């Protein structure tokens, strides 16, 4: 079974996000082997300098690299990435399944993702030009992965 790992920097706390994540985890269980990895977000002062932000992102990137499964396709979710429709995401995942044993989707911290880690990614995906809370983005990613799997399977979820 295809392995999907979501690496998220930051911890979910709100019950409604946790419930939504649990629901999509359950739904995805029939399509893939899903693993969620939460890594701690680096603490920064209230008004951090650019160098403090870059140093924190570099430390987060080290933790992400340690958590990356070997040989997996890496997709970084970032505003400057390529936007895809749900159908295009389903197609991209179908392509990846032919080439790799698994896929990793990376959600960075509230300050983003280290530039070197973005460069390392096989693909950079933008969910929207709008800004969303990182916790909501995790739920949205899970929903889109479920939708992509349903599209590939010819299911009725996607209309």
The CATH number linked to 11 is 3.40.1280.10
pLDDT value at position 122? Answer: 98
Question: Residue 49 domain-assigned?
Answer: no
Helices (H), 75-133: 86-99, 115-120
pLDDT value at position 34? Answer: 97
Mean pLDDT per segment of 10 residues, for the chain of length 159 residues?
A: 96 96 96 97 95 97 96 96 97 97 96 96 96 93 97 90
How many domains are there within the chain? Answer: 1
Question: Residue 157 domain-assigned?
Answer: no
Question: Residue 9 domain-assigned?
Answer: yes
Pairing outcome for strands 102-107 and 73-83: parallel
pTM of the entire predicted model: 0.95
Question: Residue 123 domain-assigned?
Answer: yes
Question: Residue 29 domain-assigned?
Answer: yes
CB of 94 closer than 8 Å to CB of 2: no
pLDDT value at position 8? Answer: 97
CB of 28 closer than 8 Å to CB of 146: yes
What domain range includes position 146?
3-43+56-151
Question: Residue 159 domain-assigned?
Answer: no
Distances (CA, A) of 81 to 2, 84, 127: 24, 9, 8
In the three-class reduction of DSSP (H, G, I as helix; E, B as strand; rest coil), residue 57 is classed as helix
Q: Look at the chain and count its residues.
A: 159
**What's the rounded Cα separation, in Å, for the pair 44 and 22?**
30
**What's the rounded Cα separation, in Å, for the pair 49 and 129?**
25
């Amino acid at each position: 079974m295809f392995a999907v790992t979501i690496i998220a920097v930051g911890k979910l706390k709100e019950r409604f996000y946790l419930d939504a994540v649990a629901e999509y985890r359950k739904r995805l269980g029939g399509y893939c082997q899903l693993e969620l990895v939460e890594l701690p977000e680096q603490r920064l002062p209230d008004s951090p300098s650019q160098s403090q932000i870059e140093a924190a992102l570099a430390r987060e990137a080290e933790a992400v690299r340690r958590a990356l499964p070997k040989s997996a396709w890496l997709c970084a979710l970032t505003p400057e990435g390529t936007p895809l429709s749900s159908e295009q995401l389903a197609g991209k995942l179908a392509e990846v399944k032919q080439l790799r044993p698994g896929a990793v989707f990376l959600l960075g911290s509230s300050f983003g993702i280290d530039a070197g880690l973005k460069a390392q990614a096989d693909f950079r995906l933008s969910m929207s030009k709008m800004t969303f809370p990182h916790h909501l983005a995790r739920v949205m990613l899970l929903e889109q992965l479920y939708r992509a799997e349903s599209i590939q399977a010819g299911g009725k979820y996607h209309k």
